Chain A
Amino acid sequence: MYSPDDENPNRPPVHTEALTKVFYDEDRGEVRAVDSVDISCGRGEIFGLLGANGAGKTTTLRMLSTILRPTAGRAWVMGHEVRAAPEEVRRNLGFYSASTALYPKITPRETLRFFARVNGFPRDRVEGRVEELIRRFRIEEYADTRVERLSSGMKQKVSIARTVVHDPPVLIFDEPTVALDVLNAIELREFISELRDEGKAILFSTHIMSEAEQLCDRIGIIHRGAILATGTLEELREKTGLHYLEEIFVRFAHVGAPEEAVRENIRG
């Protein structure tokens, strides 16, 4: 599994090459959920994966976080290949999604302590880091209250603190605002911007166009498992001659089959 190419120092923190995931479904047979995806994300950058529900965003991010194993292709996180060194990948990565809930029976302080340790944060610095995050996220008042008794806003703060507790250089946010109210969503987006300013490489998936417009430095439009276009908002506008991201997305998603031709036209 190891390749000398794994040690390429010029590779961005997140990089994929022809990343593919095929599921086998008893009724439908082989389902190509992600098809030859090439993306990358540099330090201090937010890369947005924009796609409709079922486009392959979550599967791509799950492969990057090593929860799923790619069927083909390769992906690196901080130089570690996802299949060859999954533990190293996860140590360098914080993963946040609607399906990464908190343990209800333990307190925020215990949660942060546990995930710092389990993610390999230096043991002698765990307590200091936990206290730092408790202050930063202003969760002092309920730091010792069980998670099950917290409001959803409080839980969200703890959950973000949990994601960054081991200070990973790469962060993945999979549709993070999907279950949040407006205020909490704004607060979360502000925090993600702060993390970018700190130099983190951030992958952010969403199906909300305005969110991608506001937050992402570069955007990859994913549809039926394939990346149809990548670039900054300006670059996408230039390619399509359209102004709003929603229009751009619809154009890419609705240009007729075959998909290869669509991809060629758009890239060309």
Chain B
Amino acid sequence: MDLHQIGTLYAHEVRSALRERSIVVFSILIPLVMYPALLWVAFSGISFIQGQAERITTRVALVDLPAAHSPLADSLMENSRLTLVEWDESTEGSRAALVDGRLDALVEFLPPDPEAGSLPDNFRVRISYSEVRDRSRTARRLLTSSLDQYREEWLDRERAGMGVGATEWADYAVVREDIATSEENTRFLLGTMVPFLTLIIVALAAFYPAIDATAGERERSTWETLLSSAARRGDVATAKYLYVATFGTVGGLLNLGALALALHWIIRPLAGSDADDFAGGALPLEAIPLIVAGTALLALFVAAGMLAFSIFARNFKEGQSMISPFYMLIFLPALFVQSPDVEFTPRIAMIPLVNVAVLLREAIMGSVPLVPGLLTLLTMGVCVAVAIALVQWVMRNEDVLLGATDGGLLSYLRRRIRNGASRAR
């Protein structure tokens, strides 16, 4: 291995790539802009929809309201988002009206259960609505809230009338207390979101450089120019690998930086009363080196995998189709971190990609256990070494080097195994 040579080849790859518009756009600009822009659009959209929902007025019908509870109708009418309509249609007619939107909720007052009938004027309520209509769901929510409040007040009045004190009346009470601070809640949210986004962006940022470094050389007819130079094949492979890994790492880190800025400058103002959940300091400082290391590990793995697939491609189109299955496959492990029940155990630390995704989550949450952390480094190191060795082994085959093979990595391995077996016979 000649470090000077690798440095020269690497600088050359990076310089060429930085002048290639498609690589700059997909590996740098999109990571920098896409997720902040998407977040802004998503939050703006959610805010808009919430605003629209706040203004929805619903049509509600009360059927068989007991005279003793006529104040309930008055309190419902006080809510500007509920409009009481006269209703005398049959059950079937009412159901049809709920489906076609002429009515949003039907409130039927029914006799109480026999056991509950001892309380004078007690009643049951059935709310009919359609879960598949926004307006109907809103009507149900507003009605439930109003009915609960009315019930509480009515029961209080009845209890007072019977001379029962409030303390004797309440047999037990449930008090909920979330001991997580808003900062911790934010970290939890980021911990489930950031590993997934990082993986997507690292893969996206490495995608085009991997194709450019292999199929691109063949398509431009520069491959033979390079191979006829005095550079060792291994040094060429190493330089190309470092180039792809660099773009993956830089793309991933740029995205994380842009995401942090987006949370602080875009999402926080939009979040209104929830602004504290997006406090700038939610990310622990000690997590940053681990996040950088995790992103680099992901990029090293993804770069090796992508090169192993794209080395067989003869042009950009083939390169895209050969890498795509790998690109899709690497997202599966990221789904693991969506479940908070997945703990960072030594066993998890030995599953490539899943381990880094969980490590990133733990780093953001503020603590990374030592043994799984080290096991993650070891596992990913071994995977990267195997993948690089695979790339170098494949690059030793001149048919692959000159683009004379049909099919991709898997076909190549199959052929090699078949030829090996026939030679052994």
Interface residues of A (CB under 8 A from B): 65-69, 87-88, 90-91, 93, 95, 97, 99-106, 110, 114-115, 117-120, 146, 162, 166
Let me know if B224 is at the binding interface, CB within 8 A. Answer: yes
**CB closest chain-B residue, reference A89:** B230
Let me know if B273 is at the binding interface, CB within 8 A. Answer: no
> In the complex, are the beta carbons of B19 and A105 less than 8 A apart?
yes
> In the complex, are the beta carbons of B225 and A118 less than 8 A apart?
no
Query: With contacts A103-B16, A105-B19, A105-B20 known, is A118 near B229, CB below 8 A?
Result: yes
CB of A173, distance to nearest CB on chain B (Å): 12
> In the complex, are the beta carbons of B15 and A90 less than 8 A apart?
no
Give 1 or 0 for each of B222-234: 1 = CB within 8 Å of chain A CB. Answer: 1011011111100
> In the complex, are the beta carbons of A117 and B225 less than 8 A apart?
no
B interface size (C-beta, 8 A):
22
Total A-B contacts with CB atoms under 8 angstroms apart: 68
Query: With contacts A99-B224, A106-B12 known, is A87 near B19, CB below 8 A?
Result: no
Let me know if B398 is at the binding interface, CB within 8 A. Answer: yes
Query: With contacts A87-B232, A110-B15 known, is A67 near B221, CB below 8 A?
Result: no
Q: Which positions 230-247 of chain B face chain A at CB distance < 8 Å?
A: 230-232
User: What is the CA–CA distance of A2 and B372 in the complex, to the nearest angstrom?
Assistant: 49
Let me know if B380 is at the binding interface, CB within 8 A. Answer: no
Q: Which positions 368-425 of chain B face chain A at CB distance < 8 Å?
A: 398, 401-402
> In the complex, are the beta carbons of B220 and A103 less than 8 A apart?
yes
User: What is the CA–CA distance of A114 and B402 in the complex, to the nearest angstrom?
Assistant: 22
CB of A160, distance to nearest CB on chain B (Å): 13
What residues of chain A lie closer than 8 Å to B9, measured between beta carbons? Answer: 118
User: What is the CA–CA distance of A119 and B157 in the complex, to the nearest angstrom?
Assistant: 96
User: What is the CA–CA distance of A88 and B398 in the complex, to the nearest angstrom?
Assistant: 19
Q: Tell which of A101, A102, A118, A162 has the most Cβ of chain B within 10 Å.
A: A118
CB of B60, distance to nearest CB on chain A (Å): 67
> In the complex, are the beta carbons of B228 and A102 less than 8 A apart?
no
Let me know if B8 is at the binding interface, CB within 8 A. Answer: yes
What residues of chain B lie closer than 8 Å to A69, measured between beta carbons? Answer: 398
What residues of chain A lie closer than 8 Å to B401, measured between beta carbons? Answer: 67
Let me know if B44 is at the binding interface, CB within 8 A. Answer: no
Give 1 or 0 for each of B12-35: 1 = CB within 8 Å of chain A CB. Answer: 100110011000000000000000
Interface residues of B (CB under 8 A from A): 5, 8-9, 12, 15-16, 19-20, 220-222, 224-225, 227-232, 398, 401-402
9 closest pairs, A vs B, by CB? A101-B221, A95-B228, A105-B19, A91-B230, A100-B225, A90-B230, A105-B16, A119-B230, A117-B8
> In the complex, are the beta carbons of A68 and B228 less than 8 A apart?
no
CB of A251, distance to nearest CB on chain B (Å): 34
> In the complex, are the beta carbons of A118 and B231 less than 8 A apart?
yes
**CB closest chain-A residue, reference B225:** A100
Query: With contacts A87-B230, A87-B232, A90-B228 known, is A101 near B222, CB below 8 A?
Result: yes
What residues of chain A lie closer than 8 Å to B402, measured between beta carbons? Answer: 67-68
CB of A237, distance to nearest CB on chain B (Å): 35
What residues of chain B lie closer than 8 Å to A91, measured between beta carbons? Answer: 230
> In the complex, are the beta carbons of B224 and A67 less than 8 A apart?
yes
CB of B1, distance to nearest CB on chain A (Å): 12
What residues of chain A lie closer than 8 Å to B8, measured between beta carbons? Answer: 114, 117-118
CB of B219, distance to nearest CB on chain A (Å): 10
What residues of chain B lie closer than 8 Å to A97, measured between beta carbons? Answer: 224
> In the complex, are the beta carbons of B12 and A99 less than 8 A apart?
no
What residues of chain A lie closer than 8 Å to B20, measured between beta carbons? Answer: 105
